[in-house]
Amino acid sequence: MLDTVLLTGSVILYSIATAIIARCIVSHQSEPNATFHVPKAFILGAIATLLHLGFAASYCFHNGNLNFSLSSMSVLISALLCLIYLLGGLALPIRRLGVMVFPLTVLCLVFSQLWNNEPVLQTHISMAASAHIVVSMLAYCLLTIATIQSLLYVYQERQIKNRTNPAMLMALPPIQTMEQLLFRLIWVGFALLTFTLVSGSVFSQQIFGVPFSFKHHTILASLSWLVFAILLFKRIQQGLRGSQATYWVIGGFVLIQLGYFGTKVVSESLAVQ
């Protein structure tokens, strides 16, 4: 019963926060004070995240053991995504990204209830495994936010060129700030992804119970790392701009998605058959 209340409450509050931010962006030109409603949405999002974390604590852990099923990980990672977004929003101009972060989170929560396969419990998690799991989730969340930021950057740049939506332009930070923020997110996410791959290979026996081997998720994660490495190299050497970086960011993100969630969907679907 409590889980249902926490889940329903978080979904409702995320949805309300999304609607408020979207309205602020759309009505900024006709209502200059609309921007002041964004902190309200931010507060609602924070309350929703607390409810979400409470639901995740119950849903993703069983007798102290972490559930590694796809539905469980979608709940846990989306909660961490919102938490990172909220903490980042305290210091960085990313609060309006909630218009995409919150709906994505709602989809993850709904998906977890529709998929809802048998728990895949992991017992006796070592410190090395715990560090690997935490850092990999942080890397995933930061690169997700970077992907959302890159999409918003491209949209903003096109609006500037076409001059079709001045309300949207006024509601967002300057495009130079958006570009700087994008590459900051990518740099941090890339560093965490690098640590994830290194820790996974060095401590493979301790973390997974088997020696290091190239499997589907490892190959896809390595390819994603290579995509982001090339992107950052081009940024340093050639001054790659935000709009040009978008395709690289999306490509790297899709590879990460396929590496974890894609392989999870396939493996759990086969397990049910």
pLDDT at 36: 47
Model confidence over 26-68: pLDDT tens digits? 765 444 444 445 788 889 999 999 999 999 988 888 776 778 7
Could you tell me if 137 and 236 lie in one domain?
yes
Residues 112 and 131 in one domain: no
Using alpha carbons, list the distances in angstroms from residue 44 to 19, 31, 199, 239: 11, 21, 37, 39
pLDDT in tens, 122-167: 656 667 677 778 888 889 899 999 998 888 888 878 777 776 656 5
Query: At which of 55, 83, 117 does a domain end?
Result: 117
State the pLDDT at residue 265.
59
Full residue range of the structural domain in which residue 52 is found: 1-117
Residues 62 and 149 in one domain: no
- Please state the pTM of the whole predicted model: 0.81
Among 98, 117, 136, where does a domain finish? 117
Cβ neighbours of residue 245 closer than 8 Å, sequence gap 6 or more: 150, 182, 183, 186, 231, 234, 235
> What is the tally of structural domains in the chain?
2
Query: For residue 264, what pLDDT is reported?
Result: 60
Domain boundary among 117, 148, 173: 117
pLDDT in tens, 76-130: 999 999 999 998 888 877 777 888 899 999 999 999 888 866 666 565 666 767 7
Close Cβ partners of 27 (under 8 Å, ≥ 6 residues apart): 34, 167
